[in-house]
Chain A
Amino acid sequence: MPWRLVRFALSKKHPEPRMFAEPGELKSSYDAVIIGGGGHGLAAAYYLARDHGMTNVAVLEKGYIGGGNTGRNTTIIRSNYLTPEGVKFYDTSVDLWKDLSQDFDLNLFYSTRGHFTLAHTDSALRTMRWRAEVNKHYGVDSEVVGPSEILKACPQMDITCGGHAPVLGALYHAPGAVARHDTVAWGYGRGASLRGVEIHQQTQVMGIDVQGGKVRGVQTDRGYISTPKVLCAVAGSTPRMTDMVGLRTPIYIHPLQAMVSEPMKPWLNPILVSGSLHIYVSQSARGELVMGASLDPYEVHSTRSTLDFVEGLSAHMLDMFPFLSNAKVVRQWAGMADMTPDFAPIMGKTPVEGFYLDAGWGTWGFKATPVSGKTMAYTLANDRNHELIEGFSLSRFANYALTGEKGAASVGH
């Protein structure tokens, strides 16, 4: 129960102050600097302050907080991954998500909907069985269901998809949920700010000062800051940052586009994903259908949208829901996805002492916001990788020990 609401109902002091304090000038030094004021960076700041007592921390954001991929994703939260590393990691995240509204005293509109990954082929169904067994082994609620269970949850769907891609079954993941993404950044930002962390928006990092293999400071467009620890959590701009410290990574950037329909009354309760049709769709609290597809097919470093995308996605939506032919698309946008070869993130310590990466979040970063914040805060505070992220280290590529998470990316990007 958000007690603040009750307090405001009884008080004449309206409205509440802004989410966080304007920090003013940059200090000349901090115990840690976090580059990137999205969900991941702010979550790391929050847990650093709350769990590890590190409050002399600056978060630097070149735009405004939550204005990058945190505000551009399709807000789906789930833990039905394929590898043991992935399942354990995302399941911890789902547990954290459930308590976040309470934690922040701020309503995230966290809404458990159930998540269906549809299988249109025998081979897709086989992967679903594999995922369901891995999930169950780690205590995650996943099961393979048939077309009748899907229709029960979503009677409006054309289960044959126009006759050319009949649905044979699905992986059903009951804890699948959606949340309001902006509030996630605001909640973490406010929680960090209240504990003393400085959030500097409109502050761009121009260079990272590395001497003798160690981080010494950060050059910004508002002056130099000395710091022994830098966390890079910048989604689609990671390669620009790693270039500054001379680190080679396998990260490449493709745009990922999404769109919403006009608002309509609630009819779609579950989250539906189709790998074959390249769709994920859910209905938001405002009644809009939130829809996403696969990555753009080539490297681009901007958030432009394309007509190809709207046409392709709309056609596939009509395969599943022919009655939407008159629904209007009101908005489309793109985010820059930080892709890795094995579809798992790159997290933790790097060969540069004091430079920590929270990167490679591709198309799967939003759901990991709480757990990545928590594990990166641990890693920064103790200068030791948290056990949950050991499978995600940058060194796995040099050791040919990839994590192999592509099969769980729901749509084959």
Chain B
Amino acid sequence: MTCPINGPRPISEFVYGGAFRPMPDPDAANDIQWADYVFNRSGAAAVKIEWWCHSPSTTWFMVERDTARDVILRSFLYSDAAIEGAPK
């Protein structure tokens, strides 16, 4: 996997942080919306944006990965992300 800061590194150096899920505004969300954010997710196979961490350097970044084929398409820093629904 390629870390956006440290470059290509063995996959054993990386830790999965789960799929990226945009957070609703905690003050505006009702209990149902908040429960949906906390628990529910898109579990079907797809190309997904995920959080990963390069653990020796504790660099958190984002990875676009096809979960059916387990193929990494690209990795980038969160600040670079043009993600639909991401908090500004």
Q: Could you tell me the distance between the alpha carbons of A248 and B36 in the complex, rounded to whole angstroms?
A: 8
Q: Which residues of B contact A249 (CB under 8 A)?
A: 40, 43
Q: Could you tell me the distance between the alpha carbons of A239 and B68 in the complex, rounded to whole angstroms?
A: 13
Q: Which residue of B lies closest to A297 (CB)?
A: B16
Q: Which residues of B contact A299 (CB under 8 A)?
A: 16, 19, 48, 50, 67
**Quick one: given A300-B70, A302-B68, are A240 and B39 in contact (CB under 8 Å)?**
no
Q: Which residues of B contact A398 (CB under 8 A)?
A: 31-32, 35-36
From 40 to 69 in chain B, residues with beta carbon under 8 angstroms from any chain A beta carbon are 40-45, 48, 50, 67-69
Q: Could you tell me the distance between the alpha carbons of A253 and B19 in the complex, rounded to whole angstroms?
A: 12
Main secondary structure of the interface of B (DSSP, over half): mixed
Q: Assess whether A250 is in contact with B39, with CB atoms less than 8 Å apart.
A: yes
Q: Could you tell me the distance between the alpha carbons of A242 and B44 in the complex, rounded to whole angstroms?
A: 9
Q: Assess whether B40 is in contact with A301, with CB atoms less than 8 Å apart.
A: no
Q: Which of A300, A308, A400 contacts B35 (CB 8 A)?
A: A400
Q: Assess whether B43 is in contact with A238, with CB atoms less than 8 Å apart.
A: yes
Q: Could you tell me the distance between the alpha carbons of A399 and B36 in the complex, rounded to whole angstroms?
A: 11
Main secondary structure of the interface of A (DSSP, over half): loop
Give the shortest distance, in Å, between A236 (CB) and chain B (any CB). Answer: 9
Q: Assess whether A304 is in contact with B16, with CB atoms less than 8 Å apart.
A: no
Give the shortest distance, in Å, between B70 (CB) and chain A (any CB). Answer: 5
Q: Which residues of A contact B50 (CB under 8 A)?
A: 298-299
Q: Assess whether B45 is in contact with A240, with CB atoms less than 8 Å apart.
A: yes
**Quick one: given A299-B19, A302-B68, A302-B69, are A248 and B40 in contact (CB under 8 Å)?**
yes
Give the shortest distance, in Å, between A183 (CB) and chain B (any CB). Answer: 30
Give the shortest distance, in Å, between A247 (CB) and chain B (any CB). Answer: 10
**Quick one: given A298-B16, A299-B67, A300-B70, are A240 and B32 in contact (CB under 8 Å)?**
no
From 308 to 349 in chain A, residues with beta carbon under 8 angstroms from any chain B beta carbon are 308, 341
Q: Which residues of B contact A250 (CB under 8 A)?
A: 39-41
From 9 to 42 in chain B, residues with beta carbon under 8 angstroms from any chain A beta carbon are 12, 15-16, 19, 31-32, 35-36, 39-42
**Quick one: given A297-B16, A300-B70, A304-B70, are A252 and B32 in contact (CB under 8 Å)?**
no
Q: Which residue of B lies closest to A241 (CB)?
A: B44
Q: Assess whether B70 is in contact with A239, with CB atoms less than 8 Å apart.
A: no
Q: Assess whether B39 is in contact with A341, with CB atoms less than 8 Å apart.
A: yes
Q: Assess whether B67 is in contact with A300, with CB atoms less than 8 Å apart.
A: yes
**Quick one: given A248-B36, A298-B16, A299-B19, are A239 and B67 in contact (CB under 8 Å)?**
no
Give the shortest distance, in Å, between B14 (CB) and chain A (any CB). Answer: 9
Q: Which of A252, A304, A308 contacts B43 (CB 8 A)?
A: A252
Q: Assess whether A253 is in contact with B43, with CB atoms less than 8 Å apart.
A: yes
A251 at the interface (CB under 8 A from B): yes
Q: Which residues of B contact A240 (CB under 8 A)?
A: 44-45
Q: Which of B15, B16, B39, B44 contacts A243 (CB 8 A)?
A: B44
**Quick one: given A297-B16, A398-B32, A398-B35, are A251 and B43 in contact (CB under 8 Å)?**
yes
Give the shortest distance, in Å, between A277 (CB) and chain B (any CB). Answer: 19
A397 at the interface (CB under 8 A from B): yes
Q: Which residues of A contact B48 (CB under 8 A)?
A: 299
Q: Assess whether A301 is in contact with B39, with CB atoms less than 8 Å apart.
A: no
Q: Could you tell me the distance between the alpha carbons of A308 and B12 in the complex, rounded to whole angstroms?
A: 9
Q: Which residues of A contact B69 (CB under 8 A)?
A: 302
Contact with B along A221-264 (1 / 0, CB 8 A): 00000000000000000111011000011111100000000000
Q: Assess whether B43 is in contact with A239, with CB atoms less than 8 Å apart.
A: yes
Q: Could you tell me the distance between the alpha carbons of A308 and B10 in the complex, rounded to whole angstroms?
A: 13
Q: Which residues of A contact B19 (CB under 8 A)?
A: 252, 299
* Interface residue ranges, B against A (CB under 8 Å): 12, 15-16, 19, 31-32, 35-36, 39-45, 48, 50, 67-70
Interchain Cβ contacts under 8 Å between A and B, 9 examples? A239-B43, A250-B39, A297-B16, A298-B16, A299-B19, A301-B44, A301-B67, A302-B68, A398-B31
* Interface residue ranges, A against B (CB under 8 Å): 238-240, 242-243, 248-253, 297-302, 304, 308, 341, 397-400
- Given A341-B39, A400-B35, output 11 extra A-B contacts at Cβ < 8 Å: A239-B43, A248-B36, A249-B43, A250-B39, A251-B43, A297-B15, A298-B16, A299-B67, A302-B70, A308-B12, A397-B39
4 A-B pairs with the lowest CB-CB distances in the bound complex, closest first: A239-B43, A301-B45, A298-B16, A239-B44
